[in-house]
Amino acid sequence: MIVTVTPNTALDVTYTVDGLRPGGVHRARDVRHRAGGKGVNVARVLHALGADVLAILTAGGATGAAVSADLAAAGIAADVVPVGGETRRTTTVLADDGTVTLVNEPGPRLAEAEWQAFATAVRARNADVLVCSGSLPPGAGDYADLLGGRPSILDTSGQALLAGLAGRPSVVKPNADELREVTGLRDPEAAAAELRRAGAGAVVVSLGPEGLLAVTASGTWHAAPSTVLRGNTTGAGDAVVAALAWGLSRAEAWPDILRRAVALSGAAVLGPLAGDVDLAHYHREQGLVAVRARRS
């Protein structure tokens, strides 16, 4: 079983508009609500692939109830840890020119007892791969407290990423900006090597339309898509994490994992909402992704 961990759950609200103009009045053509947070998105992608997956998440208030109801309706197995604060909302505005604007609330503060209950729920699960994703809400501990020496993926940023390295995650997945922020290095390969020295088993860097860079104990690879896609990029990184978790759970070789990750990321860009994937594109693209070994 793959277990995803989302301490800072959200109800994702997505607006589709003709165009976004600062200071203007906008009328949305479409409004959609769904359970979100990065770990929830990962679980949704894995569920679509037919994987055995469980989402562990926090939920509080009426918004948290809406999150729980949406997961149940989607058939996604979930272990929901109740909290006293109201679950946050995240807002995505999709404009017809392809721009994507996000507004992310910080999330409710967790009491110490709430964080401990959440950590206990995570530790109680015997996961083949544990996926810890997203920001940490105020009052939370470190992701290192949850990793526990098992196969794991850490997808977060800033101080949460640096502190999480103490748990020695099998893989971390920053994007290029997040990697530069925590290392101060502009060269992604050198920065990834720095995170490996700090405790990460492997580092997979999202390079946007240029694909993925993987720096691992067994080699360094660059994987590039066959074409640049236009669409909703908000769930692309979560689809990469889903592919990494799937590959780790099956002990696949890194080039095969990266082909799936790039193909699934593109499939997410074509999906209308974070967590959706275009499975037809995914299956077509896997054989077209170019994976090249890099000299160290």
Structural contact between residues 7 and 136, judged by C-beta atoms closer than 8 angstroms: yes
Q: What six digits make up the tokens of 49?
A: 């692939």
Here the tokens at position 254 are 């890194």
CB-based contact 193:216 (threshold 8 Å): no
Closest CA to 172 of 237, 236, 227: 237
Candidates 160, 167, 165, 164; CA nearest to 138 is 160
Is 256 a residue of the active site?
no
CA–CA separation, 26 and 296 (whole Å): 50
* Alpha carbon distance 220, 292 (integer Å): 9
C-alpha distances out from residue 3 to 42, 51, 56, 64, 130, Å = 10, 11, 7, 20, 5
Closest Cα partner for 147 from 134, 160, 129?
A: 129
Task: Find the angle CA(92)-CA(48)-CA(254) to the nearest 5 degrees.
Answer: 95
Q: Select which of 238, 256, 276, 278 is catalytic.
A: 238
Full 3-state SS string of 262-287: HHHHHHHHCCCCCCCCCHHHHHHHCC
> Helix-strand-coil percent breakdown of the chain, rounded to 5?
35, 25, 35
Among candidate residues 55, 21, 24, the one with its CA nearest the CA of residue 38 = 55
| Residues classed as catalytic | 238
